[in-house]
């Protein structure tokens, strides 16, 4: 990829978890209009897009799905 803009990687959440985080965000930050999100990496080098995608896909493939909330 020829795009050198920094990469921001966020985690996609299942619907129930997304709603839970959105409710917390609304409770604690009522003026914020952006939904809750979980940033895993901020400003990774855009020139490494293909490598970042490959590494993340490999990790995701070895990681069990599910979310534990306490």
- pTM to 2 decimal places: 0.67
pLDDT tops 80 at residue 70: no
d(CA 36, CA 1): 29
Query: Would you state the torsion angle of the CA atoms of residues 33, 29, 5, 9, taken in this order, to the nearest 10 degrees?
Result: -100
The residues near 47 (Cβ < 8 Å, ≥ 6 apart) are 1, 4
pLDDT per position as a tens digit, 5-56:
999 999 888 899 999 999 999 999 999 888 999 999 999 999 999 999 999 9
Q: What is the DSSP secondary structure assignment for residue 31, as one 8-state letter?
A: T
Q: What is the CA radius of gyration of the chain?
A: 15
């Amino acid at each position: 990829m020829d795009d050198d803009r920094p990469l921001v990687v966020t985690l996609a959440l299942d619907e129930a978890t997304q709603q839970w985080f959105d409710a917390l965000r609304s409770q604690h930050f009522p003026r914020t209009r952006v939904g809750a999100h979980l940033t895993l990496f901020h400003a990774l080098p855009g020139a490494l897009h293909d490598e970042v995608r490959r590494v993340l896909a490999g990790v995701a493939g070895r990681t069990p799905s599910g979310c534990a909330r306490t």
